[in-house]
Amino acid sequence: MTPETDLPTLDDIRAAAARIAPYVHHTPVMRSGLLDARAGATVWFKCENMQKVGAFKARGASNAVAVLSDDRAAKGVGTHSSGNHGAAVAMAAARRGIPAYVVMPRTAPRVKRAAVAGYGARITDCAPTLAARESTLAGIVAETGAHEIHPYDDRLVIAGQGTVGLEILDQVPDVDAVLVPVGGGGLLGGVACAIKSLRPAVEVIAVEPVGADDACRSFRAGYRIPSVDPKTIADGLLTSVGVRNFALMQRYVDDVVTVDDGAIVEAMRLQWTRMKTVVEPSGAVSFAGLLRHRARFAGKRVVAVISGGNVDLERLPW
């Protein structure tokens, strides 16, 4: 089976939901009359910033760790991550009592680094490039025999993130459109698969920072075009879309829209000041997409996924 055909299905996502239910939060959806007025739509915010470890990543990592046999798990798990996935793997490993090895770019926000360390994971620093992350992790895996859990290009991880989609359909049964941030595409691929499998008429729109717009360009071209030197304030969305993730995008996603960093900061600010909820830049991208493409969503019932809420309070973008 090639990666392009090794894709999660609705059954995988349902199995993940049952498997991870004891370990993750069923997160709330929030509403705000003020933000509805700004958007010109009826908006539900799916609050994965209130998820364990402060981001949806808890779902995929919990699924991937829970499914391991005791023998396979004993040597531990490893991953490379700019932060939230690393914390999620560290949490899941700590719960299971197995070692976690996390490779982090030296540029990762301090708050995310502290979270990974807080779960007792062993952190290895590397240069902030995908190549450095992958080769550093490969060395650790060769040495320890740890099981690698890819941050997004992994069937079980994508299935775990897809449980967000199941919850959205439960919480907002008459939703018209769902806006999802895209970086590596784990959340997007899983949510799109869940929603389109159950309710094909619901639009699934990916939102991407214009400074890291490989998903948008790839979607238009019909083949993967990885980012070269991406730059955006949304530090969780710097990675390029994975192979499985892109295949899911092609199958299930209706469109990809982009937003600039100014729009992301403005959306984040509105969510902080009006809805009183702490959202990280990557998590505000979905609402930024809604604000920047108002006409498209006018009068609709829209869910915007807040993917995470881990920000360094000493380094806010205003």
107 or 273: whose CB is closer to its own copies?
273
CB contact at 8 A, 235 and 109: yes
Cα distances (angstroms) measured from residue 223 to each of 9, 240, 247, 257: 22, 12, 9, 17
Q: Does residue 273 touch its own copies according to CB under 8 A?
A: yes
Q: Which of 111, 132, 138, 169 binds its own copies (CB under 8 A)?
A: 111
Phi-psi region of 231 (alpha: psi -120 to 50; beta: other; left: phi over 0): beta
Confirm whether 135 is a catalytic residue: no
Categorise residue 3: left if φ over 0, alpha if ψ from -120 to 50, beta otherwise.
Answer: alpha
Residue 95 touches its own copies, criterion: CB under 8 A: no
Q: Is 54 in the site for its own copies (CB under 8 A)?
A: yes
Stretch that binds its own copies, among 98-106, 134-142, 178-186, 307-315 (CB under 8 A): 307-315
Half-sphere exposure of 19 (CA within 13 A, CB side): 25
Q: Among 155, 218, 145, which residue's Cα sits nearest to residue 189? A: 155
Closer to its own copies by CB, 52 or 150: give it: 52
Closer of 274 and 300 to its own copies (Cβ): 274
- Any contact of residue 315 with its own copies (CB under 8 A)? no
- 171 touches its own copies (CB under 8 A): no
Q: Please give the radius of gyration of the chain, using alpha carbons only, rounded to the nearest integer.
A: 18
Paired with 148 in beta bridges are: 78
Q: How far is the CB of 297 from its own copies (least distance, A)?
A: 24
Query: Among 49, 62, 282, 286, which residue sits at the site for its own copies (rule: CB under 8 A)?
Result: 49
Catalytic residue among 57, 112, 218, 240: 57
Helix axes 84-96, 57-66, angle to 10 degrees: 40
Any contact of residue 47 with its own copies (CB under 8 A)? yes
Residue 52 appears among annotated catalytic residues: no
Identity of the amino acid at 280: E
Q: Which is nearer to its own copies, 13 or 306 (CB)?
A: 306
Q: Which is nearer to its own copies, 177 or 288 (CB)?
A: 288
How wide is the angle at C-alpha 53 spanned by C-alphas 273 and 165, nearest 5°? 80
Per rule CB under 8 A, is residue 269 in the interface with its own copies?
yes
SS3 assignment, position 19:
helix
| Residue matched to tokens 């881990």 | 310
Residues in contact with its own copies, shown as a per-residue x/- string from 229 to 268 under the rule CB under 8 A: ----------------------------------------
Choose among 219, 171, 162: nearest CA to 194: 162
Q: Which of 277, 296, 300, 301 binds its own copies (CB under 8 A)?
A: 277
Binding test (CB under 8 A) with its own copies, winner from 3, 14, 50, 138: 50
- Of 1, 18, 131, 313, the one binding its own copies by CB under 8 A: 313
- Amino acid letter, 1: M
Question: Which two structure tokens, joined as six digits, stand for 5?
Answer: 């055909």
| Cβ proximity to its own copies, 1 vs 313, nearer residue | 313
Q: What gap in Å lies between CA 39 and CA 252, rounded to an integer? A: 25
Residue 21 contacts its own copies per CB under 8 A? no
Q: Which residues are catalytic?
A: 57, 307
Binding residues vs its own copies (CB under 8 A): 47, 49-50, 54, 111, 269, 272-273, 275-279, 309-310, 313-314, 316, 318
